[in-house]
Structure 1
Amino acid sequence: MKKPKFSHLALSFLFSIGALGAPASVQAQDKKASQWPRGITYEIFVQSFADSNGDGKGDINGMTSKLDYLKNLGVEAVWLMPMNPSPSYHKYDVTDYYGIHPDYGTMEDFKEFINQAHKRNIKVVMDMVINHSSNKHPWFLDAAKNENSPYRDYYVWTHKNDPQTQREGKTTGADSFNTQHWHKVEGSDYLYYGYFYSGMPDLNFDSPKLREEIFKIGRFWFTEVGVDGFRLDAARHIFPDERPQDNHNWWVYFRNEMKKVNKDVYLVGEVWAPAEIVGPYLKGLPALFNFDMGFAITKAVNEENAGDLVANHKKIRDFYEKVNPEYVDATFLTNHDQNRIMSAVNGDLNKAKMATALLLTLPGSPYLYYGEEIGMLGKKPDENIREPFLWDVKGKDKSRTTWMQPKYNTEGAVAPAAAQMKDKNSLFNHYKSLIALRNNSKALTYGALEPLQLGTAGVSAFVRTQEDESLLVLHNLSKNEVTVSLPENLAAYKNVHFKNNKGAKQKGASVVLPAYSSVVLKK
């Protein structure tokens, strides 16, 4: 009973500031220039974020209680990692696509969270995991024990003697190191396909019935619950790598169906691959995560060398714009699958601040990973990059989750949010001032990018221009003070619009940049 998922047939059916920190103009919220999805989005692992009922696990009501914190930080949307019922802590193996995990609360809790978020002009994006289900999903349990099950066609099966099951021993992407893709069912001569591992059997998108089920799921969350968009997990793996065109077409089809119920539907996809592979997905997924940029920023700040960071970013953006002029570049430093940025820069606060400054002044629609703004640490395995958020010192922290014993974010290792909010030099306030700068600047939010070479390896320089606003951005990535001489074509940038070190100053055509500092000049 082999399904045609591994055929090469095209899916033709698819197309039937002048003072330290933010200046007064930046702080004025009524002048806000950004508008989501071009604004800041904050990624939350619900289980670790905020506990409302004392059971040690983060929950929806806990998140609701922290919406003012997010509003204060300046974010305009949240991306919630999976919340569906699941047997695992991470919940990327779903057992009910229409439900909320009981540890997290109820559907009514979630609807109220969305209601309260919308009152604060914060959009809600939920993780949608449709590449695979859990092997404990009722669909799979029934399909595995009964070859005539109505759900048999929801999954990919082949006989144990089929030659294609011998194509093992290779990985096909940065998002999985699994090499065993065909898995046994006890007491059966048939194997099922699971790209990531046996507990996550792939869904069969060659099945019209399965496709319609997926549309039904999407419609439910948009119309019955009220979410604003989906983050699509493993978007590259709906079909195998040898069928990329089918993958591209599927997302066009899915988006068109979702637009029927939400004309402003927001879909952001995870395609962990080089730009030339990512590009074609933009026709169906206008927002895609920019993995290349996160790696490039980390490399630049660690080496204290700007290199080709800005030029390469512009090159990738130019390529994507040719595919889809309206695309949304979902930039980020690190996410829930990667070592945290603070650990990636070996705990160096100056370098973490510089990475943030680059992210928030370069083009893109930035995503922040929860706890990034307070310098949370974390290295693989995954549990250790998803540790409990630190709201306050232990004796006062009624929201801290305790579902796991943290390895990196222990008492004293990281200053909690409450302390950092009171410290003007904290990482939190560094994030807040840069977010405010960006949110209130059309040039930084929407502007074109012009890379500059000013002859100093440790200085990243570029111009951002939108309509009548043009900003010259200078970042000193090095440990040494640097004086930059501006060429004649940049002489018009005479006003210090923003700086994050009081020692930074402009003297005629020269700009003094203290170590690890940023200056934004305006015409």
Structure 2
Amino acid sequence: MNQFALLHEADSKYCFAIKNDEIIIRLRASKEDKIDVYLVYGPKYEFHNNRYKAKMKIQYEDSLYKYYEKKLKLKDLRLAYIFEIYENGKKYFFCEDGLVINYDFENAFYNFYQMPYINENDRVKVVDWMQGAVFYQIFVDRFNIGRSSKDKSYIDMKWGDKPTPKNFAGGDLRGIIEKLDYLKELGITAIYLTPIFLSISNHKYDISDYKKIDPMFGDKDDLKELVQKAHKKNIRIVLDAVFNHCSMNIAQFQDVIKNGTKSKYYNWFIIDGEYPEPEKGNYECFASCNYMPKFNTSNEEVQDFLLDIAVYWIKECDIDGWRLDVSDEVSHDFWRRFRKAVKGVKSDCVIIGENWHDAYTYLMGDQYDSIMNYAFTKACLDYFAKDRLDAKGMAAKLNQILMRNNSLINSMMLNLVDSHDTLRFFTELGCNKKKQLCALMLATVFPGALCVYYGTEICMEGGYDPDSRRCFNWNQDEWDTEFLKEFKKILKMKKDDVIRYGTITASEKNGLLVVVREYKCEKIVLEMNMTKKAVNGIEPFKYRVIRKGEYNEKKIGCNVAS
């Protein structure tokens, strides 16, 4: 047995409460080891003479490890436990001292694992509407022009032309309001908007006034109307919070440029010298963009300023969440305060971080609810577009991603295959519509919320930014109606309880990627073929979805696009 592969951590993603009286316990072991694992558990103060034993099941398997899991219903919320492992008929114990041959139960209080107590305010709270949500990300300037009476002097490109980094096409909030029926009919349940506040750019990630809607997009009344009308259609609205940095034109930074260390805002930023000097770049900024100075989010005055903004738009317009730009470069302390402030105003307001990497330290119930799941995006690129993963490798990768967090967080992850910051996935696939539908189906069946980038439903193409931010083509004569029909059918599946709440296993069988979701007496099985030959009746680049119930089995989905 490879004891170096054994891993368990109490009060972590390896031991977490899913309800006030229910927990999940996991143990990691080597994929190569042939072992049986049992959980030995009991009330913390009675463990020495009052114990139970339950076999653990392999729930996940990646390229290196197997993950054993057991769910327990507790009467006493103070739990003690160890692991009993059998290999070739020999018994071992695994506890805080590591792997041992004998275990001293009489003195177990020195080295058992424990859940000391399930405190209500320490549990991860699920935003229920995120489980099974279907997001539609809109780059506002390029979606639809709705307000014909506005000042259009800033528009410098014809709708549909390929954009440059600085082009303006004229899309606005009114344009989104006009298309709410279209989005509802697609199956969308939430809209994520790129920034809408005052800025000189088309992307609005350099904000100069956080309490003013940019006139290019409309005003506060337009946002209120958008939210109200969206809510009537059961569609949520999530805004983009750019709290890592701002525009150099913001009043506070301009005051520092003028007054240097004498400015009361000097410590709002991180400056090397008496004055910020843009030509020298002697201050922290986003990436290497000197026109976007970085906030000092460890400064409590800055925190108060940003928290006021976050709460303001919830109270004023009843928005349903914040997507947090460059969130991993902002202090943990700020995000803890942010969560309390936002949830204190609206408990089901979702908090989604833009973390491209493992964000476990942010996803423990005290900061974000979720992140944009770019690890899933990369896995899809490698499997569907780049041929770097086969079905076995993809199953292992999906399980590895799932093991980054506990299952409650996984149920709220924002799963996407592309965004305004990536190449269009359809372009990455060489415009292969079969593969596009397969990727969409996998993202739908995977735990969490699905996020589709505007135009995916009409097979919009696009290279790297700014080409990924083209104008939406509203000429329906140029749409592939068969693809759109299949697109809607796939999105509809996200409403199913077995996909919203079910457990997941991902594996490979005969070259197929097999993903199974189970909930109560229902099971949905997705079989996907990315090989170049037919397997078990599934043609190349197609999938089959089967629903298995207590009394029936029925094929409910099949990729038929040519």
- TM-score by length of structure 2 reads 0.67
Query: Which residue of structure 1 aligns with residue 533 of structure 2?
Result: 480
Amino acid at match of 1:318: M
Structure 1 residue 364, shift from structure 2 partner? 2.3
Query: Which residue does 2:362 correspond to in 1?
Result: 281
1:391 to 462, 474, 499: 474
SS at match of 1:143: helix
1 CA distance for matches of 2:448 and 2:551? Answer: 23
- Which residue in the other structure is 2:509 paired with? 454
Does the C-alpha gap of structure 1 residues 190 and 444 become closer, same or farther in structure 2, counting only changes over 3 Å? closer
The residue number in structure 2 matching 1:198 is 290
2:137 to 43, 62, 69: 43
Q: Distance in 2 between the 1:70 and 1:471 partners?
A: 26
* Structure 1 residue 492 displacement after superposition: 8.6
Provide the alpha-carbon RMSD of the alignment. Answer: 2.6
Q: Could you report, residue by residue, the CA deviation over 1:344-388 in whole angstroms, capped at 9, with x for unpaired residues?
A: 1011112112111211122221111111111111111x1211110
CA contact 1:442–1:469 (8 Å) conserved in 2: no
Paired residue for 2:521?
A: 468
SS at match of 2:191: strand
1:442 aligns with 2:497: yes
Q: Cα–Cα, structure 1 residues 293 and 266, in superposed 2: closer, same or farther, change >3 Å?
A: same
Shift in CA distance, 493/331, structure 1 to aligned 2, threshold 3 Å: farther
Paired position in structure 2 for 1:310 = 395
Letter in 2 for 1:431: F
How far apart, in 2, do the equivalents of 1:318 and 1:371 lie?
32
Cα contact 2:522–2:549 (8 A) shared by 1: no
Q: Tell me if 1:184 matches 2:269.
A: no
For the pair 1:207 / 2:265, whether they are aligned, the reply is no
The answer to whether the Cα contact below 8 Å between 2:134 and 2:450 also exists between their aligned partners in 1 is yes
2:342 is the counterpart of 1:342: no
2:553 corresponds to 1:495: yes
| More strand, by proportion | 2
* Counterpart secondary structure, 2:227: helix
Q: How far is 1:312 from its partner?
A: 2.4
Shift of the 331–190 alpha-carbon distance from structure 1 to 2, 3 Å rule, reads closer
Question: Structure 2 unaligned runs (5+)?
Answer: 1-127, 153-168, 539-543
Mean Cα deviation higher: 367-376 or 301-310: 301-310
The CA distance in 1 between the partners of 2:273 and 2:531, in whole Å, is 59
Give the distance between the partners of 2:411 and 2:550, measured in 1 at CA.
Answer: 32
In 2, distance between residues paired with 1:452 and 1:259? 38
Give me the whole-angstrom Cα distance separating, in 2, the residues matched to 1:183 and 1:369: 38
8 A contact 1:183–1:193 mirrored in 2 = no
Q: Per the alignment, in what secondary structure is the counterpart of residue 466 of structure 2?
A: helix
Q: Secondary structure at the match of 1:390?
A: coil
State the SS of the aligned residue for 1:210: helix
1:300/1:307 contact within 8 Å kept: no
Q: Check whether the contact 1:301–1:477 (CA below 8 A) recurs between aligned residues.
A: yes
> 2:270 matched to 1:156?
yes
- Structure 2 Cα separation of the partners of residues 37 and 138 of structure 1: 40
Partners of 1:190 and 1:453 in 2: CA distance = 51
The answer to whether 1:296 aligns with 2:379 is yes
Relative to structure 1, the CA distance from residue 111 to residue 453 in structure 2 (aligned partners, 3 Å threshold; closer, same or farther) is same
* Aligned-partner Cα distance in 2 for 1:266–1:37: 11
Q: Deviations over 1:422-457 (max 9, x none)?
A: x3x22x222100011222x1112221111233222x
Asked if the contact 2:411–2:449 (Cα under 8 Å) also holds between the matched residues in 1, the reply is no
Instruction: Return the alpha-carbon distance in structure 2 between the equivalents of residues 452 and 185 of structure 1.
Output: 53
**Separation in 2, partners of 1:248, 1:378:** 35
- SS of residue paired to 1:292: helix
The 1:78–1:144 alpha-carbon spacing in structure 2 relative to 1, beyond 3 Å, is same
The 1-side partners of 2:549 and 2:209 are apart by 61
Change beyond 3 A, Cα 1:58–1:195:
closer
State how far apart, in whole Å, the 2-side matches of 1:383 and 1:348 are.
22
Letter paired with 2:557: K
Aligned pair in 2 of structure 1 residues 327, 255: CA closer, same or farther (>3 Å)? farther
The answer for the alignment partner of 2:25 in structure 1 is: none
Structure 1: gaps (5+ residues): 1-33, 161-181, 239-246, 394-414, 503-515, 518-523
Per-residue Cα deviation, 1:292-323 (whole angstroms, up to 9, x for no partner): 1111112212328323223322232233007x
- The question of 1:78 aligning with 2:191 is answered yes
- Aligned residue for 1:268? 352
Residue 354 of structure 1 is matched in structure 2 by 438
Larger % of helix: which?
Answer: 1
C-alpha displacement of 1:210? 1.1
Residue 255 of structure 1, CA deviation: 0.3
Give the conservation status (yes or no) of the 8 Å contact 1:363–1:449.
Answer: yes
Say which SS state the counterpart of residue 95 (structure 1) adopts: strand
Structure 2 contact 187–488 (Cα < 8 Å) conserved: yes
Contact persistence 1:183–1:198 (CA under 8 A): no
- The alpha-carbon distance between structure 1 residues 204 and 465, as it changes in their structure 2 partners (threshold 3 A), is same
- CA distance in 2: counterparts of 1:452 and 1:158, whole angstroms: 53
Q: Which amino acid aligns with 2:282?
A: L
In structure 2, what is the Cα distance between the partners aligned to 1:183 and 1:431? 50
Corresponding letter in the other structure for 1:184 = E
Hey, what's the Cα distance between the residues in 1 that align with 2:410 and 2:510? 34
1:252 and 2:336 matched: yes
2:27 aligned residue: none
Q: Which of 414, 417, 428 is residue 330 of structure 1 equivalent to?
A: 414
More relative contact order in 1 or in 2 (CA 8 Å, sep 6+)? Answer: 1
**Cα gap change, 1:493/1:462 in structure 2, threshold over 3 Å: closer, same or farther?**
farther
Larger radius of gyration between Structure 1 and Structure 2: 2
* 63, 77, 83: which one aligns with 2:176: 63
Quote the offset at 1:325 in angstroms.
Answer: 5.3
**Bigger Cα displacement from structure 2, 126-135 vs 297-306:** 297-306
Shift of 1:256: 0.9
1:472–1:493 contact (8 Å) kept in structure 2: no
Task: Pick from 242, 245, 251 the counterpart of residue 132 of structure 1.
Answer: 245
- Taking the aligned partners of 2:283 and 2:202, their CA distance within structure 1 comes to 24
C-alpha distance in structure 1 between counterparts of 2:491 and 2:296, whole Å:
42
CA deviation map 1:388-440 (0-9, x unaligned): 001116xxxxxxxxxxxxxxxxxxxxx64xx44xx3x22x222100011222x
**Which position in structure 2 is the counterpart of 1:141?**
254
Aligned length: 402
Distance 1:185 1:87, change over 3 A: same
Asked whether the 8 Å contact 2:412–2:447 carries over to 1, the reply is: no
Taking a change above 3 Å as real, the CA distance of residues 483 and 217 of structure 1, as seen in their structure-2 partners, is: same
